[in-house]
Amino acid sequence: MEPLRVLELYSGIGGMHFALKDCGVAAQVVVAVDINTTANQIYQHNFPCTPLWSKSIEGIPLEDFNKLSIDAILMSPPCQPFTRLGLKRDVVDQRTKSFLYVLDLLPKLSSPPRYILLENVKGFEESCARNQLVKILTECGYHFKEMMVSPTSVRTTHYWQYTHKNSCLNPFLNLDFSCPQTGDGPECAQFLYKLETRAEQQRKQQQNSDQSITQIQDFLDPDVDLNLEQYLLLPKTLLRYAPILDIVHPTSRRSICFTKGYGRYVEGTGSVLQSSTEAETESVFRGLEEHSEEERLRRLQTLQLRYFTPREVANLMGFPQGFAFPDDVPVKQRYKVLGNSLNVVVVSKLLRILLSEEHLGR
């Protein structure tokens, strides 16, 4: 059997491609498409033999798509128009324009793809864009299934859309998503030392007690020559944002989702790691505001709080060890493209469900 011919839209740094390689399907990405030049540089560094179109999707004519003779489309359209923390401008948002163009093209293709996998954030399922997607899929004769999936039961949940032409998906799925992702450190159950509710604290403790989830220490960068001091939080950051930091430890089994603002912004962009194994987090925070600024800083610095390195974030997102950044891509840009990416292991599992058995094991 010939390998599946796959079109990878919004290809980013290649998360879908890595997942496709991991799922055991005989497939070839015939073209990857993305407009982000930094992401394209990283993609080509990892997949130098894959044709990459650095252009807007809506700038590609129908005839060019028809020439590809694709069997499957993998895509992860921009999530900003649908995210819970955004403006939710949906189809009015200019960033949705390319996705609507894809939907318009789908029924016009001379040979529509048999498979489509789409990933987006929670919130997409309530959007007009989703309704338009369902309308087009139904008109084109696709069977489809929608799922909410998270690498663990607690991480920022992603919304997934599978479509399968001329075949039905099994609605009774037994998925094990205890894959490379993680949970929080051993904080005291009776003392709220950060700006969080009791319920939030209990949720984190429950996550951390799940022994089936891998500890964060297994995803840390083993490079002994790496200068980790460059990732330490600055004094002004510690003093201003200490009460809202999501602090995790090497033995933690959870972290919050890493966004493209990680390393530049603090609130809600990702967890920070407590490097010190000697300092007790609770003791540092207890009565912290009663001290002078100098003493507060001294106490906070004993925790040795640092950002996860880009390699570590990639590890937590399931990227294989073979994934690499070109040396000239700055750390800031590495965080940004990772924050726009997806979990490779989860996508690999979903592809196994989506693609028929005739393509597996080859």
Asked if residue 12 lies in contact with residue 337, where contact means CB atoms within 8 angstroms, the answer is: yes
Task: Tell me how long the chain is.
Answer: 362
Beta strands per DSSP E along the chain: 4-9, 27-33, 52-53, 72-75, 115-121, 142-149, 158-165, 247-248, 272-274, 305-307
**CA–CA dist 114, 5 (Å, integer):** 10
Give the chain's count of helices (H) and strands (E).
12, 10
- Burial (CB count within 10 angstroms: exposed 0-12, middle 13-18, buried 19+), residue 319: buried
The residue from 49, 79, 140, 168 that is catalytic is 79
Asked if residue 253 lies in contact with residue 208, where contact means CB atoms within 8 angstroms, the answer is: yes
**CA–CA dist 47, 331 (Å, integer):** 21
Whether 179 sits among the annotated catalytic residues: the reply is no
- Amino acid identity at 326: P
Residues recognised as catalytic: 79
